[in-house]
Structure 1
Amino acid sequence: MKLSSLLQAIEIDNIPEDIPDINISGLHFHSQKIKKGFVFIAISGYETDGHQFIEDAIKSGAVAIIGEKKWSNPTIPYFRVKNSRNSLSKLAQCFYGTHTSNKTFIGITGTNGKTTTSYMLRHILESAGIRCSLVGTVANIINGEQLPPSNTTPDPLTLHELIHKSKDEIIILEVSSHGLNQGRVDDIPFDYALFTNLSHDHLDYHGSIYNYFEVKAQLFNKLSPQGEAIISNYCDWSRRLLDRLTIEQKNVFSVGYDEIDHMNLANVNVEFSTEFDLKEGNYEYKVTLPLSGLHNAQNASLSFMVARRLGIHATQVIDALNSFPGVPGRFETYNHENGATCVIDYAHTPDALTHSLQTLVKKGAKRIIHIFGFRGNGDRSKRKEMVEISSKYSDLFILTLDDLNGMDSQQMVDELHHLQKVYGNGKGTVVEDRTIAIQAALEQAEEGDWILVTGKGPEFYKQVFHYPTFSDKETILFHSEAYGA
């Protein structure tokens, strides 16, 4: 691509009359990933300023720079924009040619349930013969190939490259609040925008739950003119969003318990698998889901409604949900040789933790042993509530280390001791090493007990622990003759 063609995608403050006739072989915002013939986009980040690395980018082969600050001594073409981060999405779209895409885009936002809903929906679509890509937390699945993820919502360059590679008809994207706030999906015309729920999370980044909601709501401003908003109406924030979108005269559809909803969830039974009814107009469907929990019935109801809006017959949707294999690290269950049941779950918010623990109670757990921790340099405001929730439903909980993310381990351990002592209701203990904590739970568990390990799901450990394992699943299997339930 010629530089002149690429620059047509953005507004430039100092565009010259004659733009050099340069071939562009790539672009990036990370100076260490610049190669010969690349354009470097200097972004004022939250931790570092890309403008400080312009000279490094030039040494690596950059042939042009795009930034938002003055550069007093340019040695190669420099183009100034008002906001480099916003420009990045448009440049990525132009470079990869995704502005001409005829794919159907489905975006899913919310605090909990994004991953499970996206996997359910993809399973339904693929079962109906519709090829579908998925971009999200656990993996990026493009043309049937599973690729490792970066963030829940990738940076614009990665995202548009994935869209460019995809030969699938539909692309499902998990859209995080960080992704929305940082403009990663600014130039994607969503055909369907889904909202799962909203609860306490990421308040260290957003400041308040009200700001958090406003960022989530931005997804619905990115709907194409004929796009549809589909809301899972099971929380107060859903009701607020529904009212707003209705006033804005969006095409809005909802599933929930109320008469105003276009589809109703009823008669949920989670004793063994999960069974529930869905009412759509004069029709009523009985659905059986191999996953446990009310929250999964809600995720399934949202997936059901989207599939129906896409024109898939109800019988096909029901059959697909009945055979849904689940999501790695989302309530993943293993039976232990001693008669206990181990569950690995990604739950890392108060709401998600409540759902997971309540599910164990409804399954008749003799005792619940819960193992969890907190991310270093993360949202501290939810920690007290999560310890209180665990102490309410668990018979014993063990606080242990999660990803430290640069935080001093002793500082985190001291905080864990404080949390369990003040808010643990006498049920908690602290075991610093995550693998030893899991081993301790397995050793004291008896027949009928349930061991719940939350926070990481399928993610690999970022630090080295005592035992030579790299994930919660590996640790459980390493210490036992556990097998998939």
Structure 2
Amino acid sequence: MNYQELISFCKPISISGPEPETIGKLRQDSREVVPGDIFIAVKGSKSDGHNFIHEAIERGAGIIICQKEIELNENVTVITVKKTRKLLGKLAQKMEGNPADKLKIIGVTGTNGKTTVTTLVWQILTKLNYQASLLGTIEKRVLQDKSPSRLTTADPIELAQAMKEMTDAGSEYLVMEVSSHALDQGRTKGISFQVAVFTNLSHDHLDYHETMNEYASAKKKLFNSLDSKSWAITNADDERGEWIVNSTPAKILSFSFEDKGLLQAKILQSDAKGMTISIDETKIETPLVGRFNAYNVVEALLTCTALGVDGKKAAEILKHCTGAPGRMERINQELDTSNEPIVFVDYAHTPNALENVLSTLRELKTRHQKLVCVFGCGGDRDKSKRPKMAKIAESYANRVIVTSDNPRSEDPDLIIDDIMEGFKNPENITRLTNRRDAIHEAVFTSKAGSIVLIAGKGHETYQEINGDRIHFDDREIALEALQKRDDTTKKEGAV
């Protein structure tokens, strides 16, 4: 983009300063500016980019885009526009060659389930040899290459750069999580979605949105932005599921497990090894467990059919899709569990999350199965949750093993002391500070068929101890323990 094209695109209120010799990259963070770059000042919820204009200039910014009239003596171009936030997304796309226009983009929004739905859709498309990439809370996938994510939905500049990387690699599809913050802040401006999915809405992020109505209205923006060629998929069982799509121009697919939507779904079978679900005469077998995952699986299937994928082919692929890493992830899905416990790893690290996961597993277990819970609490965080999580674990699990999580700067044994105060019968609780030992203990001493939940870290691949991040992956340790388990170990000391 040259200078005249930039001016034409921005539709400025005013322009001052000399025409720059060169045009660098678009920056929203003044700390990233290098000589020749464009700095766009955006007012956020916590800080105002206009306060960092002078820092951007000191770092060599050649052009400043702002929405406040400012006078600068520096040799810099100032472009004043009506709303920088409204301009940012579209300009970021333009600067990268409009990569969003080269992708079929699927956006998934809602309080819970976004990560699982996006991961399932990406897995289905990839296994069917579609060239698909992924942007989410846990990871970014450029086709098969993955890297960690920083935010659920990145800022517009990062989004545009990621999309450019994806199209350069040959991506034709992008599956992405879309947060309420991103929608409220206009981070997805300039992006056209072919399919938008609503999972559910529950109490969350009210520190930002203040009311549930504001939170819901932010989510609704995704569906209002669709066009008549797009698809809107919604969970009609959620109390806002029908409302969120009531003004969308898109074609609507609503579904329900409670006879409410256009399409009727049903759980035909469910246990700790998976589910069988029917939707619109299509039968789906999945290794995912729990009613909440039944919604996620159906949303993934409907998303793929909206993209033109044959429903029966997608259902066949779903048999082998594991969902999001560390979200109720079954470790020994591919192993023979006739002589082993069934082991799950989950990110649950709050009282509500732990209760949701344990209550789901307790509903799935048979009368003869035992439920074992391994958990800890992070250091330098809310201490009040520690005894609460103990009470929840003791209420649902047949056996509890308390261990270290991410102690950070705290003494892990003192964290465990805090947790122990919440148990009604602490004498029945196993305490093992070393997390590897705790996981091995749970796997080695649980009878075949028992359900073991390792909670708190999920997809994380480290333990944070005194400022250092040491490699540690619950999934690797659990698999290691399962592989070492032998017949003698299974019989001795089993719960």
Instruction: Give the TM-score taking structure 1 as reference length.
Output: 0.81
Match of 1:232 among 230, 235, 243: 235
2:126 equivalent in structure 1: 126
1:457 equivalent in structure 2: 458
8 Å CA contact 1:4–1:20 kept in 2: the answer is: no
1:79 equivalent in structure 2: 79
2:94 equivalent in structure 1: 94
What is the Cα deviation at residue 139 of structure 1?
1.9
Distance in 2 separating the partners of 1:467 and 1:6: 44
1:329 equivalent in structure 2: 326
Partner-residue secondary structure (3-state), 1:25:
coil
What is the Cα deviation at residue 252 of structure 1?
1.9
Letter of the structure 2 residue corresponding to residue 346 of structure 1: Y
Distance in 1 separating the partners of 2:4 and 2:315: 52
Partner-residue secondary structure (3-state), 2:321:
coil
- Distance change in 2, residues 1:349/1:6 (3 Å): farther
2:52 equivalent in structure 1: 53
Partner-residue secondary structure (3-state), 2:471:
coil
What is the Cα deviation at residue 57 of structure 1?
2.4
Letter of the structure 2 residue corresponding to residue 62 of structure 1: A
| Residues 268-317 of structure 1, C-alpha deviations (whole Å, 9 max, x = no match) | 4222532323242xxx2222112222222221111111222222222211
8 Å CA contact 2:196–2:231 kept in 1: the answer is: yes
Match of 1:320 among 317, 321, 330: 317
| Residues 90-142 of structure 1, C-alpha deviations (whole Å, 9 max, x = no match) | 22012112177142211001122112211211222233342212111222222
Distance in 2 separating the partners of 1:432 and 1:70: 63
- Distance change in 2, residues 1:128/1:99 (3 Å): closer
Distance in 1 separating the partners of 2:201 and 2:147: 28
1:181 equivalent in structure 2: 184
What is the Cα deviation at residue 344 of structure 1?
1.6
Matched, 1:38 2:37: yes
Partner-residue secondary structure (3-state), 1:218:
helix
Distance in 2 separating the partners of 1:309 and 1:60: 47
Distance in 2 separating the partners of 1:15 and 1:73: 12
Letter of the structure 1 residue corresponding to residue 215 of structure 2: Y
**Which piece of structure 1 moves more, 202-211 or 178-187?**
202-211
- Distance change in 2, residues 1:274/1:480 (3 Å): closer
- Distance change in 2, residues 1:208/1:100 (3 Å): closer
8 Å CA contact 1:130–1:169 kept in 2: the answer is: yes
Distance in 2 separating the partners of 1:400 and 1:109: 33
* Unmatched segments (≥5 aa) in structure 1: none
Partner-residue secondary structure (3-state), 1:270:
strand
Match of 1:367 among 362, 366, 371: 371
The equivalences for 1:144-223 within 5 A come to 144-165=144-165, 166=167, 167-223=170-226
What is the Cα deviation at residue 373 of structure 1?
3.5
1:24 equivalent in structure 2: 23
What is the Cα deviation at residue 144 of structure 1?
3.5
| Residues 66-105 of structure 1, C-alpha deviations (whole Å, 9 max, x = no match) | 2344544341112234443333212201211217714221
Distance in 2 separating the partners of 1:376 and 1:5: 50
What is the Cα deviation at residue 324 of structure 1?
1.6
Partner-residue secondary structure (3-state), 2:95:
helix
What is the Cα deviation at residue 409 of structure 1?
5.1
Distance in 2 separating the partners of 1:333 and 1:474: 12
What is the Cα deviation at residue 38 of structure 1?
0.9
The equivalences for 1:464-479 within 5 A come to 464=465, 468-473=470-475, 476=478
| Residues 159-191 of structure 1, C-alpha deviations (whole Å, 9 max, x = no match) | 111222323222111112222222211221112
Letter of the structure 2 residue corresponding to residue 198 of structure 1: L
1:142 equivalent in structure 2: 142
- Distance change in 2, residues 1:89/1:342 (3 Å): same
Letter of the structure 1 residue corresponding to residue 39 of structure 2: F
The equivalences for 1:320-469 within 5 A come to 320-334=317-331, 340-347=341-348, 353-361=354-362, 362-364=364-366, 365-373=369-377, 389-395=392-398, 396=400, 398=402, 402=406, 421=421, 436-437=434-435, 439-440=437-438, 442-443=440-441, 446-448=445-447, 450-461=451-462, 463-464=464-465, 468-469=470-471
Distance in 2 separating the partners of 1:151 and 1:100: 19
Instruction: Give the TM-score taking structure 2 as reference length.
Output: 0.80
8 Å CA contact 1:233–1:239 kept in 2: the answer is: yes
8 Å CA contact 1:332–1:345 kept in 2: the answer is: yes
Partner-residue secondary structure (3-state), 1:226:
coil
2:104 equivalent in structure 1: 104
Identity of aligned residues (%): 30
Distance in 1 separating the partners of 2:465 and 2:446: 31
Distance in 2 separating the partners of 1:226 and 1:217: 18
Letter of the structure 1 residue corresponding to residue 184 of structure 2: N
Letter of the structure 1 residue corresponding to residue 465 of structure 2: V
2:293 equivalent in structure 1: 296
Matched, 1:267 2:267: yes
Q: How many residues align?
A: 469
Distance in 2 separating the partners of 1:347 and 1:324: 21
Distance in 2 separating the partners of 1:425 and 1:268: 38
8 Å CA contact 1:374–1:403 kept in 2: the answer is: yes
Partner-residue secondary structure (3-state), 1:171:
strand
Distance in 1 separating the partners of 2:125 and 2:221: 26
| Residues 411-437 of structure 1, C-alpha deviations (whole Å, 9 max, x = no match) | x99999778746x6556999999x735
2:251 equivalent in structure 1: 251
What is the Cα deviation at residue 326 of structure 1?
3.7
Distance in 2 separating the partners of 1:482 and 1:114: 35
8 Å CA contact 2:231–2:306 kept in 1: the answer is: no
8 Å CA contact 1:399–1:428 kept in 2: the answer is: no
Letter of the structure 1 residue corresponding to residue 79 of structure 2: F
- Distance change in 2, residues 1:47/1:123 (3 Å): same
Distance in 1 separating the partners of 2:200 and 2:115: 13
Distance in 2 separating the partners of 1:177 and 1:278: 31
What is the Cα deviation at residue 323 of structure 1?
2.0
- Give me the CA root mean square deviation: 3.9
Partner-residue secondary structure (3-state), 1:15:
strand
8 Å CA contact 1:400–1:431 kept in 2: the answer is: no
Distance in 2 separating the partners of 1:459 and 1:54: 37
- Distance change in 2, residues 1:97/1:232 (3 Å): same
8 Å CA contact 1:140–1:146 kept in 2: the answer is: yes
Distance in 2 separating the partners of 1:84 and 1:432: 54
**Which piece of structure 1 moves more, 220-229 or 334-343?**
334-343
1:10 equivalent in structure 2: 10
